Structure 1
C-alpha cells in the first residue's frame, strides 16, 4: 500500500487541478455508482486522511421556492490499496494506463482526473465522512496530529510487536512498510519488539513523522545526504547489502500480526537492531 507521503502528494496534485472547478462530466465505473452524475457540481477541495483521499464537492444550489439555497455536499472517497492511482490529463488527453482499469473519470474545462485500479471508491455525504475515516488514528501529516493520543493507542496493546502496531491505521495514520522499517532502524529497535518494551516509543513515531514530512516533494529519500532520483534507504529493500552505519549485512524477514494470519516483509540490521 502507498505511504502517507504518496497520498499527500496525490491530494496536492488533484487539489491544484480540480479545486474550484465545475465538473462537466463524471463517469463512475463501479456498479454501485454507475448512474451517478456529478455534472454541474463544484470540486471544493481534495484532502488526504492517512492513506485515504477525500474529494469534496458542492452541488448546484436548489432553486425551488422556499429552499434554503445551501449547496449540497458530497465526498468521493478513494483508497489506492496496492495498485491504485489518480492521474491528471489535459482535457481529452490520451491516458497512460489501460482504459479497462479506470474506475472514476472527472472532467473539467482544464483537466481530466482519472482514478485507475482504485481499491475503494464510494460517494458519501460530506457530513458522513467520519463513518468511513473516523476510525483512523491521528494523521502524522494532518492537522489533527496528536502525539499523546497516538502513544495512548499504541500502548493500549503492549504485547503487539511495534512493527505491526505502526502499520495499524487505527492507532496512527500514514505509516506504510517503508517508514515502519526506517523508523525502527533509526530508533535502534527490532520490528518484532513488543510495544511495551520499546524504550522510547515517542522517538520512533517522531522519526516516522519526520521522514514523512521530509518527503512531500519528489525523490523519496530517508538517508542523509543530497536527494536523488533513486530512493536512498537505511534498510528498506537492502537485503544482503551492508548496513550504512555498522557494515553488518541487512536482513529481510517476515513479521506476523497478533493473530498470526498476516505477514509483512521487514528489513533490519541484526547488529543495530538486535532481535528481542
Structure 2
C-alpha cells in the first residue's frame, strides 16, 4: 500500500532514471491528457510531496500523480519487459533512451505549470520526508481539533503529509491507544513522541519497499498489528481485532491499546 515512504522511494528511482534526460517517448492514457506529448523535453526533477509525485519537465511543466490505494510507477531499463500489470492498467509511459517509467492504475494524473504546484500540494502539512519537516507545526495541526479520533487526524494530509493506513494502525499501537481515541485525550507528550516516531519509521523505511515497524529482526514479524487480524499480538498474545466496515481497515490490540473501539453501526453486531 503506497504511503509516504513508498512514494519517496518511487520518486528517488524515477529521478535517478529520468532526470537530466530527454524524453523520447510519452504516452498519457487518460482522456484529458490524450493529446499531450512531452517528447523532446528534458526531465528536470522527480520530487515527492507527501503522497504526491511531481515530475517536472523542461518548459515549466509538471506531471502530477497520486498513487492512492494501489497505484504504482515502475522503472525499467530499455528493452526490459514491463511486469507491473496488464496493459489496460497503464495510465502513463515516460521513456528516454535508457529507461522507461510506467504508471499503473494511477487514479490521479494531471499536467500543470510548475509554478502552479501549490494548487495541488499547497494544502499539505509538514512532510515527514521533506525538507520542510517541522515537528512542532505537525503537533500543532494534529492537536487543533481535540475531539477528532486519532486515526482520522493522522490520515489527514493537511495535518502531516505521508501517513497512510498502515502507519496509522502501527503508530496507534506504538502509542498504546486505539485509533478512535480523541486526540485531546492523548496523555501529555504523546503527540510529540508519536509524530517523532512516525518520522523515524518513514526515514528508516524510505530506501526499501518492504516496510518494517517492529524491532524484531524476524522476517515474519515486520508489523505489529496491520494485516494481522485474529493473529496473536507480538506483545501480549491477545488476538488482534479489526474493523473492516470502511475502505481503510483498522487493526488494534484490545489489551495493549487503551481507548474506545469503533462505533457500532445501527443494528449491527460487534466487530470481529
- TM-score greater than 0.5 by the shorter chain: yes
Kept after mapping to 1: 8 A contact 2:216/2:222? no
The whole-number CA distance in structure 1 between the counterparts of 2:230 and 2:97 is 51
Match of 1:266 among 250, 265, 269: 250
Q: How many residues end up aligned between the 2 structures?
A: 256
Unaligned residue ranges in structure 1 (runs of 5+): 59-71, 256-261
The whole-number CA distance in structure 2 between the counterparts of 1:165 and 1:237 is 21
User: Match of 2:227?
Assistant: 237
Q: CA deviation at 1:152?
A: 1.6
User: Match of 1:167?
Assistant: 155
Match of 2:93 among 96, 105, 116: 105
SS at match of 2:202: helix
Q: CA deviation at 1:253?
A: 2.2
Could you list the structure 1 runs, at least 4 aligned residues long, displaced by more than 6 angstroms after superposition.
none
Kept after mapping to 2: 8 A contact 1:92/1:112? no
Q: Mean Cα displacement is larger for which, 241-250 or 35-44?
A: 241-250
Q: CA deviation at 1:264?
A: 3.0
The whole-number CA distance in structure 1 between the counterparts of 2:131 and 2:10 is 17
SS at match of 2:249: strand
Unaligned residue ranges in structure 2 (runs of 5+): 261-272
The whole-number CA distance in structure 1 between the counterparts of 2:79 and 2:225 is 43
Q: Does 1:91 align with 2:81?
A: no
Q: CA deviation at 1:92?
A: 4.1
Task: Decide whether aligned partners of structure 1 residues 263 and 115 sit closer, same or farther in structure 2, where only a CA change above 3 A counts.
Answer: closer
User: Match of 2:213?
Assistant: 222
User: Match of 2:12?
Assistant: 12
Q: Does 1:79 align with 2:66?
A: yes
User: Match of 2:51?
Assistant: 51
The whole-number CA distance in structure 1 between the counterparts of 2:126 and 2:30 is 30
Q: CA deviation at 1:254?
A: 5.1
Q: Does 1:208 align with 2:198?
A: yes
Kept after mapping to 1: 8 A contact 2:74/2:102? yes
User: What are the equivalent positions in structure 2 for 1:115-264 lying under 5 Å apart?
Assistant: 115-199=103-187, 200-218=190-208, 219-226=210-217, 228=219, 232-253=222-243, 264=248
Q: CA deviation at 1:231?
A: 6.0
TM-score of the two chains, using structure 1 as the length reference:
0.88
Q: CA deviation at 1:31?
A: 1.5
The whole-number CA distance in structure 2 between the counterparts of 1:103 and 1:86 is 10
Q: Deviations over 1:165-216 (max 9, x none)?
A: 1001111110011111111111111111001111111111122221111112
Q: CA deviation at 1:40?
A: 1.4
Q: CA deviation at 1:163?
A: 0.9
TM-align CA RMSD = 1.6
Q: CA deviation at 1:34?
A: 1.1
Kept after mapping to 2: 8 A contact 1:180/1:208? no
